[in-house]
Amino acid sequence: MAQKRVFISGIAGFLGSHLADRFLEDGYAVVGCDNMIGGYIDNVPSGVEFHQVDCNDLSRLLPLMAGVDIVYHCAATAYEGLSVFSPHLVTQNIVTAATGIISAAVASRVRRFVLCSSMARYGTNDVPFTEEMVPRPQDPYGIGKWSSELLLQNIAETHGMEWVVAVPHNIIGPRQRYDDPYRNVASIFINLMLQGRQPYIYGDGDQRRCFSFVSDVVEPLCKMATDDSCTSEVINVGPDDRFVTINELAETIARLLDFDLQPVRLAERPREVYLATCSAAKARAILGYEARVELEDGLATMIDWITSRGVRPFEYHLELEIHNQHTPETWSRQLL
């Protein structure tokens, strides 16, 4: 049988690089692109055919799609909080970038397209979020993700390409950028505490989340390449029974590091979703989804990885488009 070819956008990023590992192990030829606005270049596994190409650059993207069977679109400026203050930057790399790669995939007769969306699509719906809910995103990032889904569905169905929408949430693990002040709360806390610095917590810290370790996400995501029960479906991927508050997250990391925790409290961020949980019932039924890695074990693995690479100063690498009284102080005053 001919070797299958998978294309992964955002392959120097956290999720894309782990997916690449898994597809290489499974014998696929893996091609990928990244514009390096995020990620780390050494995340890209050896064995990958890598191209530094932006998903908005259709003329450079098209030739890379030749012979590709499946596309995983992981490229994104996945900054929900920042999207409130830099909506142009964020939506350019969410909506326009998605349209670029969808168009290239259709033109190249790709069989199946898997889009990584986000639970931000659900916005102000009641929790737990289930897939049949009408999305009510409440910030530019969520609106961008929902728009990308609509564009995928429309363009794919018009031209006969199979599509799947994966909705992962709050993934943690090695290879996540830990010097990025705009996202990845667990990595930020670890990088700060390893430097002997206190973490900053917005609001009362009782915002509840369900974190999932990256290996628990990669497994069901990979099944979306071949499983026919997934086509034309939106599927949440992540646990729905492991709630943890941001305060508890900080406490767990502090315990693992034997760190004297006295967090700095800041005003809550505008439009931050207070309680965000997704139902995993559909993923369990269709993909046999199961959360295996305990939060504490996942955090310990991240601590080992960050320690082995060395702590880093935070890099304010993205432009804040809107400065006003709502802009979080950690960004406007570059506190990290």
Select the residue interacting with ligand NAD from 6, 34, 114, 253 (CB under 6 A).
34
Site for ligand NAD, residues 103 to 132, rule: CB under 6 A: 116, 118
The answer to whether 293 contacts ligand NAD (rule: CB under 6 A) is no
CA distance 327 to 304: 33
CA distance 151 to 167: 16
Part in contact with ligand NAD (CB under 6 A); list of ranges 33-41, 82-90, 297-305, 323-331:
33-41
Part in contact with ligand NAD (CB under 6 A); list of ranges 11-19, 23-31, 194-202, 328-336:
11-19
Within the chain, residue ranges assigned H as helices are 14-25, 58-61, 80-83, 87-91, 97-107, 140-159, 185-194, 214-223, 246-257, 281-287, 295-309, 329-332
The answer to whether 235 contacts ligand NAD (rule: CB under 6 A) is no
Backbone angles phi, psi at 299, to 5 degrees: -65, -35
The answer to whether 302 contacts ligand NAD (rule: CB under 6 A) is no
The answer to whether 97 contacts ligand NAD (rule: CB under 6 A) is yes
Nearest of 177, 149, 170 to residue 216 by alpha carbon: 170
Under DSSP, is residue 252 helix (H, G, I), strand (E, B) or coil?
A: helix
**Paired residues of 166 in beta bridges:** 116, 235
Select the residue interacting with ligand NAD from 38, 137, 140, 328 (CB under 6 A).
38
Nearer to ligand NAD, 184 or 330 (CB): 184
Under DSSP, is residue 219 helix (H, G, I), strand (E, B) or coil?
A: helix
Nearer to ligand NAD, 259 or 314 (CB): 314
The amino acid that residue 124 corresponds to is T
Nearer to ligand NAD, 56 or 327 (CB): 56
The answer to whether 221 contacts ligand NAD (rule: CB under 6 A) is no
| 195: Cα separation from own chain's centroid | 25
Select the residue interacting with ligand NAD from 29, 68, 70, 76 (CB under 6 A).
76
CA distance 287 to 301: 26
# chain residues binding ligand NAD, by CB under 6 A: 31
Select the residue interacting with ligand NAD from 6, 8, 12, 156 (CB under 6 A).
12
Q: Which residue is nearest to ligand NAD (CB)?
A: 13
Residue-wise over 266-289: b if at least 16 C-beta within 10 A, else e?
Answer: eeebebbbeebbbbbebbeebbeb
Nearer to ligand NAD, 171 or 246 (CB): 171
Select the residue interacting with ligand NAD from 137, 142, 168, 199 (CB under 6 A).
168
Under DSSP, is residue 304 helix (H, G, I), strand (E, B) or coil?
A: helix
Select the residue interacting with ligand NAD from 36, 107, 267, 285 (CB under 6 A).
36
Which parts of this chain interact with ligand NAD (CB under 6 A)? 9-10, 12-16, 33-39, 54-56, 74-78, 93, 97, 116, 118, 168-171, 177
